[in-house]
Structure formats: structure tokens, C-alpha cells
Amino acid sequence: MIRNLLFIAAGGAVGSVLRYLTSVWTIKLIGPNWLISGTAAVNIIGCILIGIVATILQEKGMMENTVKLFLVVGFLGGFTTFSSFGLEGFEVAELSLQKGLVYMGFQVFTGIAAVWAGIEIGKWFT
């Protein structure tokens, strides 16, 4: 059990740092934007990655090992951030309900589409 927790913690640490760097890079690249935020970028990238990783791990029969704990639970759990999405969605909706709903709908739709794309990409590796 301790070993599993260490894999999750290590993956979470890496994912959290990369989430921060990706958010900073996104803002530098496109500037402040109410729709494509750093949170949206990490959530979309994370959805693509979880689709790829889950597909590869499932095909290789590795869904219950430490690779899954490190990559899916730790790294991608630390990399994506639903709580920040909720806060940003609320803040945008406070300014404009219509923009807030578009912002939230955009992230949910692109997140699901990104998981699908990741699964399709993951199939290339199996």
C-alpha cells in the first residue's frame, strides 16, 4: 500500500508542476482569454493523454499495476484540475451567464472529444 501511495504522490507532483507550467505557457502564448484558459488547456491535454494511456494500459493488461497509479491517478490527477474549472466557470458566469455556460460547455465537450481522440491515438500503439 505504501509503495502504491508513493507512485501516486510522485506522479501527482510531476503532474501538478506541469499543470502550472502549461497554464503559464498558455497565457503567454494566447494572452488572457475567457474561453481558452490555462485550465482549459491542461484539461483538454489531460483528456487526450488519459485516453491514450488508458487504451495502451488496457490493451497491455496493465490497468491494475503501478504504471496506472503513477500515470493515471498521480500524474494526470495532478495535471488536470476540475476544481479550478469550477471556479473559473463560476467567475465567468458571474460576469456573463451566457459566456459562463459557453465556457463550461466548451470544456466539457472538448474534454469528452479529447478522451475519444486519445483512445483512437492509443489504439495506434497497441
Residues in the annotated binding site for Na(+): 77, 80
User: Cβ(119)–Cβ(49) under 8 Å?
Assistant: no
Annotated binding residues, written as ranges, equal: 77, 80
Number of other CB atoms surrounding residue 16 within 10 Å? 16
Shortest CA distance to 88 belongs to which of 19, 122, 38? 38
Q: How is residue 70 written as a grid cell?
A: 503513477
- Residues present in the chain in total: 126
CA–CA distance from 31 to each of 26, 27, 74, 122 (Å)?
7, 5, 29, 31
